[in-house]
Structure 1
Amino acid sequence: MSKFNNNQEFFDFSVNMVVVPIKDIVERMKEHHIKLPLFIYRFLLKETIRDEVFESKRYQSYTDELQYRLRNYDMHSIFLLDKLIHQYELPFDLPKFKEMLFNFLYLNKDTKDIDRSFFDQIIELKDHYELQVERMSYDEFYQLIENRLFQTTGYIDGIHSNDWTDETLTSHTLGDLKDLGQKYGIKVPRRINKNRLIEILAAKLRLTEEEVAHLSTKSILDIEIYAKDKGFRISTDLKKRDMIEFIKFSLGMYHKDIPNDNYNYNIPIPKLEEELEEEIEEVKDEVIEDVIIPEEPAEDDIIIEDIPEEEEIEEEIAIQETHEIEEIKEEEVQVKKEVKKDLKKEPKQEIKEEIEEEEKDLPLELVDTDLLTEEEKELLDEKIAYIIRKYHKKKKRRKVFKVIFFTLLILVLAFVAYSVIHYLYIDEGNLPFNIPVFWK
């Protein structure tokens, strides 16, 4: 292997290694038993498409909601990155991914226990290919590298289970989380029943059989309050946080030893395609300068005739196109100014409120029952009936308290009236029942 005095020397050299096709790279990784955890793949993919995601013209075409979600781009799951690539047809910069992959593997060769012969083979392969940019769709690329990726214990789609915070969840819609679960073979429901709720609590809180049996006698609301008192917020109506907990439970992730992420991510993030194309052009120029082409005498002189009429027409067309382009640019500038004004007028709080409203439950009359399973419909009816019963019970209790209160009040007022009559007329100067007179 070529000896590199430091990491930077390898980083500078690795741009030359990207001419090796990804298929050959994957084969060498397979030979050396090199596999990537999904959280490393997420990092490489995230940085590969970052420039495309935030490209100015494309970014302006995003909805306000998506722009808000992209504020937390660094915590996007692989599912969301895939979704961005396909939804907005983002070009995949394969050479950039390959260079970052080489740099990452070299920087972490000791952590990954990578033999130096791996890099020797890649460098040797480099000389067998011409300098050219390998282009490939993301789907084609993923089919090649998929068998070199693996899921790590304690991670969901490349994100540590503890990092699925409310901030991370703002980037995901409820539909995204349902699709994320489906990606890993989990059907995430919109609602769960009482038994499933107790199962999740038992796994999360390590409850004994006696505690589980005791919870089974309680109502759903009492169980939710019990969970909250234990520092674990969950509901039968699954919101974003609850959906992630359901996925963790389904994957058996509670109380598992999670390996530490000891990898070094301090690698340069190249804008590779432009640099590589410039390098190819330089090489081509050098080759052209080295080749001497002998001059041959021309048999006939080439006569070039001026065609002034065509030149005038071309000039007129060019002038018209220039004016049209300038008008279009002025219109674009005007539109951008108006859009910016509108965006400035709209408070950021409105966007946040829209995101927060998504987490709230829909009113019962707006629920589309066609989207619910039979189990969910039964659970919904059960919960509605329970809430109605509890409401009537509270209403009845209030009514009883009111009757008792007014009865006592009437008795007190009647006794006061009788005492006044007794004191003034029946037995002047004395209160009934020999009650002492304190004001004499």
Structure 2
Amino acid sequence: MKRILAIDDQQLILLSLEKHLTDLGYSVKCADNGKEGLSLFETFSPDLVIVDINMDEMSGLEVIKTIKEKKSEVKILVLSGNNDEDTIIDGFDLGIDDYMKKPLSLNEVSVRIGRILGVKYERSPSKDSKGKILQRNCIGVVIPCYNEEKRLLSKEFIDFTNSNLGYHLCFVNDGSTDNTLNVLLELSKGREDNISVYNCEKNGGKGEAVRQGVLHLAQDKQLDYIGYLDADLSTDFKDFDDLVQTMATSDFKIVSGSRMSRMGADITKESARKIISKTINLIIRNILGMSFNDTQCGAKIMDKEVFNELFEEKFITRWLFDVEIFMRMRKFYGKKKAISYICEQPLKRWIHADGSKLSMKDSVKIVGQLGHIAYHYSFRARNKVQKA
């Protein structure tokens, strides 16, 4: 039986890789850092080492160099999201056998490993792994839920996490009065590595539910980005993953979905809500002093660098926390930098879902809440500076 040692500081990747390779008949051991990996290398004597490049404390290149100095004939395969040309060349100069760039499918990993180790066809890729992708980054997604037992699309969430290895979904039960909590617990049962439930005993509103979920996920150091998504999946998972890809290939701190009507996009809203939305958005643009088309879209992804700055303090409104996020970005970075760090990306699909918790009466209250936001983040802050 061929032995494989996998070294990666992202548990979501390691767990998926370990299960897949074990199912193929390999003996597998895993380490989540370079030092532990080198220790296992001594005792396990693997035929193949799979290693990530970007790891804290000890990089993958350092691990490779150490291994090659100890045992030059061992096979080494790099599995990394680092696509830098010089890094790839450095790896081959050190003697690696292959360099796999994330994202890629588990079946491709199988084929490359089989080629390196010379395994026979009985270890050909499994049908169960078809379509399963190892992501370039690890992403946490907060999904706030309040009385969602009848609308929760459990199958869609399960299918997504099964296919997209590197995502962790955190459902936040916002003090639901129906059976939502039990539905969520059943959804996560046996899938705790990819789906978790954070329970808020009292209803605090969507903003507080998202805030609690983000702070909870932020404790997981393997997550590169954290975002949030509505439980009704009015934003398609494919669109959300597009937001992630934009984040991963740019210097943006926030990538926000935008429900803009355009050719090739499937965007539907109730007519009354559409008119109100345009009016509110005009007010929001004046308050922010930034020309965003849609601050209120419930699909956003953020870099870990901004988690604490944006979510440490409670929001002052229940429904307009998205506006507060942008106000906090402006307050922390300044207007010019904030604009350069926020990307508004049009969605290809957004469908208004029946059963929305935001009523027409709530929409009227929003205008007053916007005034509260303007005072709290602008005039109040200015007065504090003058008094100081």
Instruction: Name the TM tier (shorter chain).
Output: under 0.3
Q: Relative contact order, CA 8 A, sep 6+: which one is greater?
A: 1
Please say which structure displays the higher CA radius of gyration: 1
TM value normalised by structure 1: 0.21
